[in-house]
Amino acid sequence: MSGSVQVIVLAGGSSRRFGSDKLAALLPDGRSVLGHCLAGMPSGWPLVVVGPSRVVPEAVAGRVSWVRESPPGGGPLAGIAAGLEAVGSDVVCVVPGDAPRAGEVLALLVAELDGDVSVSAAVLSDGEGRANPVLAAYRTDDLRRALPDSTAGVPARTLLSLPHVEVRAAFEVRDVDTPEDLDAMTRKS
């Protein structure tokens, strides 16, 4: 697998602010939030989904493997650590499963990472100084070394201590945290 790119999709959260399973919520295209996210991943890139096993779009089912973070619900960094155990590529992208359009920016992030050998990560930024370490491309070995021994409950922002470049996309990549977020996406579709 060396030389390729794999994607860790974080899908183990509790959806507290949403009030029910946000990853199962349906978008106007009839797919779930997670299903839309997975279907939008770059073709051919293996997907490691961290969370409880679910039904996924048939078009990507052959590329998906499932792992669980320890402890379940341990947070994004615990999810990344669990996903990394199934990764054998030189570069790994991390995306939140509640961001339906996340896959559309991964090629850009990987290109930025490839273009600057002095950095360990290319991290999506909203352009207002807020870098998102769970929507990023990482050099896999650097990411492994950056993880603390105990990852449960540790903020994912600690990954921003890695040398990184912040990248802006041509559009805003939004996630679904609340029913209002889902409504806003539905109106824009």
Instruction: Map out the domains of the chain as residue ranges.
Output: 5-183
Q: In whole angstroms, what is the distance from residue 33 CA to residue 26 CA?
A: 6
| Close Cβ partners of 37 (under 8 Å, ≥ 6 residues apart) | 9, 95, 97, 98, 99, 100, 101, 102, 103
Kindly state the average pLDDT of the residues 126-132: 80
Length of the chain (residues): 189
Kindly state the average pLDDT of the residues 10-25: 80
Lowest mean pLDDT among 126-130, 155-159, 180-184: 126-130
C-beta of residue 175 within 8 angstroms of C-beta of residue 99? yes
What pLDDT is recorded for position 171? Answer: 86
pTM of the model: 0.93
Q: Of 47, 51, 84, 46, whose CA–CA distance to 68 is shortest?
A: 51
What pLDDT is recorded for position 3? Answer: 56
Architecture per CATH, 5-183: Alpha-Beta Complex (3.90)
